[in-house]
């Protein structure tokens, strides 16, 4: 069992690795605000002075709306993009306050924290013969994956492995980043979208996100996967991928727990033996995590 | 012609692992059909004596709700099966199935299969085992959708 506990796929480093200290927010200004759906807003941010450290796809920042509070929000930009990008779903006090920010407003940013999707790892791995990447997202789960898909598509354009983006949403109006879907498709990626509930004007697929796996066209034995969405969705998708022949070691999932400090001090984000702000949010599905995801009370 | 049909039936994922003998009996009840975009494979309320093994194109399964028009419940594609109503009385379609684009499929005569299964119970058993696996997968997917997965994914 002990080998299952070696969760992080990178050695842990104290974060942030920055002279400002782990708990001090840096001021960022909202440069652009995009209303993605009725409850998801994207903020594009620029630092007021020295920017935070560079980040990797899948990591998160703690965003604060002054006078209201601070919450964990994933980076949905790719490190190669000029502005920090965060997409926030309005579910409570702090997320609501952040969604209300408009161009010119200030927000506090701490980070970057946590583990990442390892997109820059050489996918064309001769040893394991893994070439392609399957990205499966449910609802707002595409936010932590958006930057990764950008990087993967870029690599694919330069002759890297193929990219398959499979998206599930409750209904058409809740599909996020549709302009990105078009751009990824135009650059060679396969993008498939399905909804649980169709509206009269919807002409696409209707069904569970797992129904996209069979005819997406990837070779499960030579692919890796990145999953983000509700935990039940990730559990079922991971099992379906393994049933299709994918190596569980090649499946990464992103897990969310309530986060406060973001740096492994307070214990709020504990899942079994792991602190997800430090050991996660991106963790390998194989081993202990697949077991923990089926536990009733954690 | 029958050899071609045999290959088509044999290659369809639904038929994977079916015995040679049963395959032969199924082929005798099968024909190759195509549907233009928008046309109906089956219509709610009509008698159901066929099921379809999809080879090409996508099909939507719809139900008509008064005041809401035709609602798509599910879409299926190559490798999937459309139609279960031929299995159980009163053998009547409970949904519409409509071609979303050009659809190519193998139509299997359910009455023909039912008759053959009565004289050859092993065919009936093999087919029902196959149907159960597919129906179970559909039922599980439907249950997951009932959970309204993406509606509220909050964690305490
Ligand atoms: C690593 C990580 C990355 C995240 N990335 C994003 C993202 O990119 N976009 C996005 O919209 N949201 C993201 N979240 C979720 C976001 O942090 C919560 O929605 C937010 O904390 C809710 O705070 P609130 O004050 O708005 O609502 P509250 O009033 O605090 O809570 C509203 C509901 O959300 C639940 N909740 C509170 N905190 C969390 C939490 N940290 N995680 C999950 N549920 C919580 C509460 O139990 C309650 O049911 C992420 C969470 C984590 C841990
Ligand atoms: S959020 Fe404090 S330990 Fe993880």
So where are chain B's domains?
5-143
Q: Do B154 and A206 touch (CB under 8 A)?
A: no
- For position B125, what pLDDT does the model report? 92
pLDDT reading at A4 higher than 50: no
Residue A150 in contact with residue A165, Cβ under 8 Å?
Answer: no
Q: Is the peptide bond before B100 cis (omega within 30 degrees of 0)?
A: no
Q: Per-residue pLDDT tens for A123-163? A: 545 455 668 999 999 999 999 999 999 999 999 998 889 99
CB of residue A250 inside a 6 A radius of ligand 2:
no
DSSP A157-213: HTT---EEEEEEESSGGG---HHHHHHHHHTT-EEEEEESS--TT--SEES-GGGGT
Cβ A277 vs Cβ A261: under 8 Å: yes
Does position A77 have pLDDT exceeding 50, yes or no? yes
Q: Is residue A114 lining ligand 2, measured as CB closer than 6 Å?
A: no
What is the number of domains present in chain A?
2
- Specify burial of residue A235 (Cβ count, 10 A radius: 0-12, 13-18, 19+): middle
3-state secondary structure A30-87: EEEEEECCCCEEEEEEEECCCCCCCCCCCCEEEEEECCCEEEEEECCCCCCCCCEEEE
Q: Is A90 on the interface with B (CB under 8 A)?
A: no
In chain B, % of residues over pLDDT 90: 60
pLDDT score, position A128: 55
Q: What is the pLDDT of residue A127?
A: 53
Which residue in chain A is spatially nearest to B143 when comparing CA positions?
A: A208
Looking at 3.40.50.1820, 2.60.120.10, 3.20.20.60, 3.10.580.20, the CATH number of the domain B5-143 comes to: 2.60.120.10
The residue from A238, A254, A270 where one domain ends is A254
The complex scores an ipTM of: 0.84
The domain in which residue A191 lies consists of: 132-254
- Beta-bridged to residue A197, according to DSSP, are none
Same domain for A75 and A179: no
* Model pTM score: 0.88
Average confidence score pLDDT of chain A: 88
The answer as to whether A248 is a domain residue is yes
Task: Give the end of a domain, one of A216, A233, A254.
Answer: A254
Q: Give me ligand 1 centre to Cα B126, in Å.
A: 49
Please calculate the CA angle B51-B57-B62 and round it to the nearest 5 degrees. Answer: 60
Helix axes B20-27, B121-146, angle to 10 degrees: 80
Question: Over the stretch A211-260, which tens digit does the pLDDT of each residue have?
Answer: 999 889 999 999 999 999 998 899 989 999 999 999 999 999 999 888 99
Dist. CA A167–CA A183, nearest whole Å: 15
Does residue A272 line the site of ligand 1, with CB under 6 A? Answer: no
């Amino acid at each position: 069992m002990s080998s299952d506990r070696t969760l992080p796929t990178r050695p842990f480093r104290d974060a942030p690795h920055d002279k400002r200290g782990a708990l001090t927010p840096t001021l960022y200004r909202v440069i652009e605000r995009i209303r993605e759906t009725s409850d998801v807003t994207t903020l594009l941010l620029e630092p007021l002075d020295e920017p935070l450290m560079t980040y990797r796809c899948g990591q998160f920042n703690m965003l604060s709306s002054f006078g209201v509070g601070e919450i964990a929000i994933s980076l949905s930009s790719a490190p190669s993009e000029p502005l920090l990008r965060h997409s926030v779903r309005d579910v409570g006090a702090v997320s609501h306050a952040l969604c209300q920010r408009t161009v010119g407003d200030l927000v506090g940013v701490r980070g970057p924290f946590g583990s990442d999707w390892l997109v820059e790892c050489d996918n064309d791995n001769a040893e394991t013969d893994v070439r392609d990447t399957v990205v499966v997202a449910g609802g707002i789960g595409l936010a932590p994956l958006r930057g990764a898909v950008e990087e993967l598509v870029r690599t694919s354009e330069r002759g890297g492995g193929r990219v398959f983006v499979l998206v599930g949403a409750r209904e058409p109006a809740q599909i996020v980043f549709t302009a990105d879907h078009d751009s990824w498709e135009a650059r060679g990626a396969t993008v498939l979208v399905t909804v649980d509930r169709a509206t009269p004007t919807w002409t696409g697929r209707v069904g569970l996100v797992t129904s996209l796996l069979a005819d997406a066209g990837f070779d499960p034995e030579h692919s890796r996967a990145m999953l983000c969405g509700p935990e039940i969705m990730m559990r079922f998708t991971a099992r379906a991928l393994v049933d299709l022949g994918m190596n569980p070691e090649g499946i990464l999932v992103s897990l969310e727990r309530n986060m406060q400090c973001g740096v492994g001090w307070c214990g709020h984000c504990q899942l079994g033996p792991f602190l997800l702000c430090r050991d996660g949010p991106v963790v390998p599905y194989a081993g202990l995590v697949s077991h923990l995801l089926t536990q009733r009370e954690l | 012609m029958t050899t071609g049909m045999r290959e088509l039936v044999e290659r369809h994922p639904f038929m994977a692992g079916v015995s040679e003998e049963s395959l032969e009996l199924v082929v005798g009840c099968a024909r190759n059909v195509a549907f233009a975009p928008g046309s109906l494979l089956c219509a709610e309320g009509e008698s159901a004596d066929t099921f379809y093994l999809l080879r090409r194109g996508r099909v939507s399964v719809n139900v008509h709700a008064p005041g809401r028009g035709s609602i798509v419940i599910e879409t299926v594609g190559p490798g999937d099966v459309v139609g279960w109503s031929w299995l159980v009385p009163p053998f009547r379609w409970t949904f519409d199935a409509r071609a979303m684009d050009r659809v190519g499929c193998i139509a299997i005569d359910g009455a023909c299969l039912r008759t053959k299964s009565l004289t050859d119970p092993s065919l009936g058993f093999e087919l029902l085992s196959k149907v159960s696996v597919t129906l179970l997968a559909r039922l599980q997917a439907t249950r997951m959708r009932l959970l309204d997965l993406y509606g509220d994914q909050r964690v305490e």
